[in-house]
A = this chain, B = another copy of it.
């Protein structure tokens, strides 16, 4: 996706060999026109999959996920990272470890909103070790739903997430794939 690649090149800030900061258009400030194009691109890539629900996780997944859901005219669900006071019961729970924050969160989805007839597209902003995507997939599977695929805005292909998800049988489709952040430079997968 050319526009996204340009944004990463022009505005991404490399912080060491593992971390790419894209808080001018994706993780803090958001570019709504780009989010809309990202939604259209996911719809194009997963065409014919008869998706019934978009599933993401708060917070940076919400904007690309709602744009995808809008174009498909299906509901979007965002998993919460902690149990909130008003979501006490009837929830699916999975543990997700965050390497960035060095902590384990419980992610939760209400059982009301996912069922055995659902065909779920998982959307997230970044894919690194795959922890969040695996957690979301396990939640969909707890519900008996089918995971049609995992759509990622930026994949750090030098980390194991994409490979592990594919080995587990999931279709992973990433809009931008980064081969390396070495020497302060973004190198894309050809």
Contact = CB atoms under 8 A, between A and B. Distances in A.
Interface of A: 15, 19, 21, 23-24, 27-33, 35-36, 58-59, 62-63, 66-67, 69-70, 73-78, 80, 84-87, 100-101, 109-110, 112-113
B113 A75 contact: no
Contacts of A23: 86-87, 110
A70 B28 contact: no
Binding site secondary structure of chain A: mixed
Contact of A87 (B28, B74, B84, B101): B28
A13 B31 CA distance: 34
Contacts of A69: 30, 32
Given A86-B21, A100-B85, A110 B28 contact: yes
Given A59-B58, A85-B100, A78 B28 contact: yes
B63 A33 contact: no
16 contacts: A19-B86, A21-B86, A24-B112, A24-B113, A28-B110, A28-B113, A29-B75, A30-B66, A31-B75, A32-B69, A32-B76, A58-B59, A59-B59, A59-B80, A84-B100, A84-B101
Contacts of A19: 86
A24 B100 CA distance: 31
A29 B77 contact: yes
Contact of A28 (B28, B31, B77, B85): B77
A86 B101 CA distance: 10
Given A59-B78, A62-B63, A32 B86 contact: no
A110 B76 CA distance: 28
A115 to B, nearest CB: 12
10 nearest interchain CB pairs?
A: A32-B70, A58-B59, A32-B69, A62-B62, A29-B113, A63-B66, A29-B77, A59-B59, A30-B76, A29-B75
